[in-house]
Amino acid sequence: MEVKLKEKKQIIGETFIPERPEVNLWKDAFRRMCKNKMALLGAVIITVLFIFAIFAPYIAPYHYAEGSLKDNFAQPGSKFLLGADFMGRDLLSRIIYGIRISLSVGIVGAVTAFVIGVFYGVISGYYGGKIDNIMMRIVDVMYGFPTLLLIILLMVLFKSTFSVATPGTFAGYLNTIDRAFGGLFFIFIGIGVTSWIGMARIARGMALSLREKEFVEAARATGNSNLQIIFKHVLPNLIGPCIVRVTLAIPGYITFEAFLSFIGLGVNPPTPSWGMLISEGYKAMRSFPHLAIYPGLALAITMIAFNFMGDGLRDALDPRMK
Report how far residue 173's alpha carbon sits from residue 162's, in angstroms, rounded to the nearest whole number. Answer: 9
Residues in contact with 166: Cβ distance below 8 Å, sequence separation at least 6, in sequence order: 172
**Distance of closest approach, residue 207 Cβ to other proteins, in angstroms:** 22
Nearest to 301 by CA among 108, 110, 39, 46: 46
Binding window for other proteins (CB under 8 A); candidates: 23-31, 218-226, 228-236, 285-293: 285-293
Taking each continuous run of H as one helix and of E as one strand, the counts in the chain are 14, 0
| Torsion angle of the four alpha carbons 97, 100, 101, 102, in this order, in degrees rounded to the nearest 10 | 110
Among 107, 171, 174, 304, binds other proteins (CB under 8 A): 304
**Distance of closest approach, residue 185 Cβ to other proteins, in angstroms:** 18
258 makes contact with other proteins (CB under 8 A): yes
**What are the beta bridge partners of residue 67?**
89
Among 100, 185, 275, 313, binds other proteins (CB under 8 A): 275
311 makes contact with other proteins (CB under 8 A): yes
Neighbours of 296 (CB within 10 A): 17
Residue 243 or 303: which CB sits closer to other proteins?
Answer: 303
**Distance of closest approach, residue 286 Cβ to other proteins, in angstroms:** 6
Report how far residue 257's alpha carbon sits from residue 274's, in angstroms, rounded to the nearest whole number. Answer: 9
Report how far residue 126's alpha carbon sits from residue 230's, in angstroms, rounded to the nearest whole number. Answer: 8
Among 74, 303, 309, 316, binds other proteins (CB under 8 A): 303
Report how far residue 219's alpha carbon sits from residue 310's, in angstroms, rounded to the nearest whole number. Answer: 33
Q: Long-range pairs for 272-277 at CB < 8 Å and ≥24 separation?
A: 272/64, 272/94, 272/95, 272/97, 272/98, 272/101, 273/98, 273/101, 273/102, 274/95, 274/98, 274/101, 274/102, 274/298, 274/299, 275/299, 277/85, 277/91, 277/94, 277/95, 277/98
Near other proteins in 130-189, by CB under 8 A: 140-141, 143-146, 148-150, 152-154, 156-157, 160-161, 164
Near other proteins in 60-99, by CB under 8 A: none
Residue 38 or 116: which CB sits closer to other proteins?
Answer: 38
Among 126, 308, 313, 316, binds other proteins (CB under 8 A): 308
**Distance of closest approach, residue 38 Cβ to other proteins, in angstroms:** 8
Binding window for other proteins (CB under 8 A); candidates: 22-30, 104-112, 207-215, 259-267: 259-267
Q: How many residues bind other proteins (CB under 8 A)?
A: 44
Residues of this chain that interact with other proteins (CB under 8 A) are 38, 140-141, 143-146, 148-150, 152-154, 156-157, 160-161, 164, 251, 255, 258-259, 262-263, 265, 275, 278, 281-282, 285-286, 289, 292-293, 296-297, 299-300, 303-304, 306-308, 311
